[in-house]
Amino acid sequence: MNLNKNINIQFIMQELTESDYFYNDDLKEFERLNVTTENIYELDGFEILIILKDGRNLTDLDDVENLGDIIFISEDLSKKSDLSYHFCDVIFSDISSDFINLKAIVVKNLSDKVMSLECMFSKLNNLTTISGLDSWDTGNVKNMRSMFSSCTKLSTINGLDSLDVGNVEDMSSMFYGLESLTSLAGLELWDVGNVENMQYMFKKCINLEDISPIMNWNIGDECRFDSMFEDSNIFVKMEFYSNWQRLLEDSFNDIFHFSSENIQNDFKCEKCGHFNLIYDNESSSLICRNCGNVIRRYLKNCPDCGSSDLVFDSFSMDLACGRCGLIIGK
């Protein structure tokens, strides 16, 4: 063991935590067990750092007798040209990868030679953290199909916001089955204009609540997006729908595959079943754009201060007084 590192581990951890490196509890444990390199992000010339359940440090995957013994991996990807199925050794199967106990991964320096990331992290059922994506050059990547699919415990993917997805054509099933994912924060600035396939992209993300970050995505006219959020149990806001009106007008149910209990009646027209609703200031009503049916009628003046300066909140479907702030409701 490097005694100098062992003595100064607390200082190093504090220094790293305050730097540009990302650390959560799992990565701090990874760093504590690392006695081989300066830190888990800088590998001192090694291509890979592996930590086993018994605490052993290895620098060659061929030295691992049982992949199930690995709990942490840090890898320099700069010499890789194809990362499809990189950590996923199980194809077209419901069982998990042989990396069954892998908890956290640091993957740095993906080069512009890589064109496919298909199923790269798929089926890592105990993986909680992926870090290092902010160092990736993904400008030439065309395929991200099932990249993180079935990582049921993955809730932190640090660096997604920095990925260049401008040339990606396939994102189908990319986040399929991420049961711990609650928000799509980090995807706000993705340029998805060239993506041709988003089928099942967030299917079975059963705890997904916040999809607002992707409201302004520039989805192309030819993109396939049926079943995109199927079985995700998310609550769709009118504001989200209005931003995707061109795409969703005839395909809303195809994308979300909602059953009746997933949709509040106030968010669809009971007459024609459409979700294309709009608030009309003049009549102070919520109206179906498709058939003209009046869904709700609202007060025209605040009952508290009498002001007619009322603001419609498309998230709560209520009115708020612009003068006194009273929530008026229907």
pLDDT tens digit sequence for 280-293? 777 888 787 678 88
pTM of the full structure? 0.72
pLDDT at 219: 87
224 vs 279, more confident:
224
Q: What is d(CA 166, CA 1) in angstroms, rounded to the nearest whole number?
A: 45
Inter-residue contact 148 to 173 (CB < 8 Å): no
Quote the distance between the C-alpha of residue 151 and its chain's center. Answer: 12
Residues whose CB falls within 8 Å of the CB of residue 90, separated by 6 or more in sequence, listed in order: 96, 97, 98, 123
Could you tell me the two tokens for 169? Answer: 């054509």
Are the beta carbons of 235 and 212 closer than 8 angstroms?
no
Distances (CA, A) of 320 to 288, 294, 304: 21, 20, 11
What was the pLDDT predicted at 280?
Answer: 77
The interaxial angle of helices 9-17 and 25-33, nearest 10 deg, is: 140
Look at residue 314 and tell me whether its pLDDT is greater than 60: no
Phi, psi of 138 (to 5 degrees): -105, 20
Tell me, what's the pLDDT at 115?
A: 97
Residues 202, 200: Cα–Cα separation, whole Å: 6
Per-residue confidence (pLDDT) for residue 252, from 0 to 100: 53
Q: What is the pLDDT of residue 326?
A: 83
Secondary structure class of 202 (helix, strand, coil): coil
pLDDT at 261 over 80: no
Contacts of 45 (CB under 8 A, 6+ apart): none
Q: H helices of the chain, where?
A: 3-7, 9-17, 25-33, 238-243, 245-248, 252-256
pLDDT tens per residue, range 161-191: 999 999 999 999 999 999 999 888 889 999 9
pLDDT at 93: 47
Over the chain, what is the mean pLDDT? 81
Q: How confident is the model at residue 10 (pLDDT cuts 50, 70, 90)?
A: very low
Q: Is the per-residue pLDDT at 240 higher than 60? A: no
- What is the token pair recorded at 268? 């669809």
pLDDT at res. 254: 59
Give yes or no for residue 111 having a pLDDT over 80: yes
Q: Give the single-character DSSP code of 76.
A: E
Q: Name the pLDDT band for 247 (thresholds 50, 70, 90).
A: low
